[in-house]
Structure 1
Amino acid sequence: MSAFATVADGVHAVRVPMPAGGLPDSLAYLIEDDRGRVHIVDPGSPTDEAGGALLAALDALGRGPSDVAAIVVTHLHTDHAGGATALRSLSGAPVLMHEREAAAAVKLSHGLPAPDLDGWGVPADRRPELLAAVRAPIAPGAVPADVLLTDGDLLDIPGRRIRVLWTPGHTPGHLCLHDEEAGLLFTGDHVLPTVNPGLGLGGPTDTNPIADYLAALDRIAGFDALALPGHEQPFTGLAERCAALAEHHLRRAREVAAHPGGTVWEVASTLTWTGGWEALRGFTLLSALSQTALHRDFVART
């Protein structure tokens, strides 16, 4: 897919550059309504380069910031929500987010809660990088939500029926957006075409994010829709991808269940990681350990 592409009638995808160190870009979506205005889903990272990509996309449509009617954020992570505050200042458009995500963003604006490194059995020489990863904010410093959304809401986009679907797991208030008439599903980081999204990356919750995620996958697997994800590229075969993601986590749960003893560190070191256990550093290591702990809790609850 090119840097700017029309993916459906009145819907355009924009590759928004991300800072080096992870995926190269996120996908923002520009949705035109029947009054000539534009609604933006996930404006991307809080950098000049990212903001420039959005402005260039608006210009390609013959529009400018004053034509932006709303900014919808699928979840709190900086590579999706980070540019919302600047775009709101430029356009005057409100920012919309699920109510649970807005609450989580307040808690995470200064970083993730400190993990139980002692309880996890983390070796002393690996603790500094984990503590540094915890201190790095993963949500914008200022909570951008102006309008709080709940499951089942219809967005105010004239000429379209786009419904909010609460899909927790990646974060507590992650949402997908279903364009019921156009057959489109904006999936954020809930379902990506090849990457396995991390879970539990929105702070502690009363429920288990693994169980939440599996239930949310079941909810959307039956949609006959073109999936418009937050990274990579639009794709079809949503049911098959949801099944693959569910099996990935069920397999991980079986692997964890096979090692009932040992610390989280010891169990995590025996599991299969895409880049290999030895390659995990900083935030990716923290995520791996956190998800191992979540899978242990999931196994204990089921």
Structure 2
Amino acid sequence: MKLHTLQGYIQQIHLVEEGDKLLLLDGCSRADVDNVCRFIRDELGRPLSHLAIIVVTHMHPDHAGGAHKLRECSGARIAAHPKARNWYAGLAGRSAHVIDVALTWWVASRLGKPKKYIWYNPLLRPDILLTDGQLLPEFDNWKVYFTPGHTDHDLSVMHIPSQRIYVADLMVKVKGELVPPYPVCHPNQYKRSLQTVRALKPASVLFAHVREQAGARIDFDEVLEHAPRLPKNHWHSTRNRISRKLGLNEKQHYV
């Protein structure tokens, strides 16, 4: 197994070579499609048809935005958790999608990146539905783990021989410290997911927004300590601001 890490629009892109097949560990953003295709053709000297599987760990713009277009270009199959298809469904889901696209542009501006076209279909059409504990089709050295919390459908994937695991947005880095991401939509599930990854004792951990880290150097207890007790996302943040103005107790919403 050979792992290539490319710099994406606002995240790292992890592309795996195994034999004559390629595995993309996330669907990246719509702005990254040309870069991924160029790398496969020009740097690896391979046809795009060698891209076999695109894992979508969750539906945010920098993880799912390029999946459909990359499938169209290469014929690769998209693999995701069953719940990913409905994350942006309905009026509330479409509103959240617009907000998440806007937040992606905001992050890009903070990184000094220009505004690029990143719009994508919010309703994923996966070819493969993944379940906790299964091996990735066509890549049986890779095992799938259901690690929700950031969303209700997050996935992590581990390369069994090397014990390297890709956890996407399970953790991010702020002021040099690993912390929970924003949003955390399901706090209890998020904590269980951290405990799941810790129990695996990975040799190293690959992230979307942090450089690869040795598993033994990650202080999972510290990240758990900073994990929110209540949901922390767009809707709850707005509701809590309104509640504070009205003098309501935040906990009243969750009784």
TM-score where L is the length of structure 1? 0.64
Aligned to 2:55: 72
Q: Which amino acid aligns with 2:76?
A: A
Hey, which of these two has a bigger chunk of strand by percent? 2
| CA-CA distance at 1:187 after TM superposition | 0.6
Contact 1:38/1:68 (<8 A) preserved: yes
- Which of residues 221, 236, 246 is equivalent to 2:198? 221
Contact 1:84/1:144 (<8 A) preserved: no
- Which of residues 216, 240, 249 is equivalent to 2:218? 240
Q: Which amino acid aligns with 1:175?
A: L
Alignment partner of 2:30: what SS? coil
Alignment partners' CA distance in 2, 1:297 and 1:153? 40
Aligned to 2:111: none
Alignment partners' CA distance in 2, 1:297 and 1:212? 21
Alignment partners' CA distance in 1, 2:213 and 2:34? 26
Gaps of 5+ in 1: 1-8, 18-24, 114-131, 202-208, 255-262, 270-291
| CA-CA distance at 1:15 after TM superposition | 1.1
Aligned to 2:89: 106
Aligned residue-pair number: 223
Alignment partner of 2:95: what SS? coil
- Which of residues 72, 89, 105 is equivalent to 1:89? 72
- Which of residues 11, 23, 27 is equivalent to 1:26? 11
Q: Which amino acid aligns with 1:218?
A: Q
- Which of residues 3, 6, 10 is equivalent to 1:14? 6
- Which of residues 24, 37, 54 is equivalent to 2:36? 54
- Gap change, CA 1:133 and 1:104, over 3 Å in 2: closer
Alignment partner of 2:136: what SS? coil
1:114-153 paired onto structure 2 within 5 Å = 133=99, 140-153=121-134
Contact 1:167/1:176 (<8 A) preserved: yes
TM-score where L is the length of structure 2? 0.75
- Gap change, CA 1:135 and 1:44, over 3 Å in 2: closer
Alignment partners' CA distance in 1, 2:101 and 2:37? 31
- Gap change, CA 1:93 and 1:245, over 3 Å in 2: same
| CA-CA distance at 1:232 after TM superposition | 2.7
| CA-CA distance at 1:192 after TM superposition | 3.0
| CA-CA distance at 1:212 after TM superposition | 0.6
Alignment partners' CA distance in 2, 1:243 and 1:148? 32
- Which of residues 203, 209, 212 is equivalent to 2:189? 212
Give the greater-gyration-radius structure (CA).
Answer: 1
Alignment partners' CA distance in 1, 2:252 and 2:189? 13
| CA-CA distance at 1:213 after TM superposition | 0.4
Q: Percent identity?
A: 25
- Which of residues 162, 177, 180 is equivalent to 2:160? 180
Contact 2:136/2:142 (<8 A) preserved: yes
Alignment partner of 1:112: what SS? helix
Q: CA RMSD in A?
A: 3.2
Contact 2:132/2:144 (<8 A) preserved: yes
Q: Which amino acid aligns with 1:11?
A: L
- Gap change, CA 1:105 and 1:94, over 3 Å in 2: farther
Gaps of 5+ in 2: 105-119, 231-238
Alignment partner of 1:163: what SS? strand
- Gap change, CA 1:200 and 1:137, over 3 Å in 2: same
Alignment partner of 2:89: what SS? helix
Alignment partner of 2:167: what SS? strand
1:151-300 paired onto structure 2 within 5 Å = 151-158=132-139, 160-193=140-173, 194=178, 196-201=180-185, 209-222=186-199, 223-237=201-215, 240-249=218-227, 252-253=228-229, 264-265=240-241, 296=251
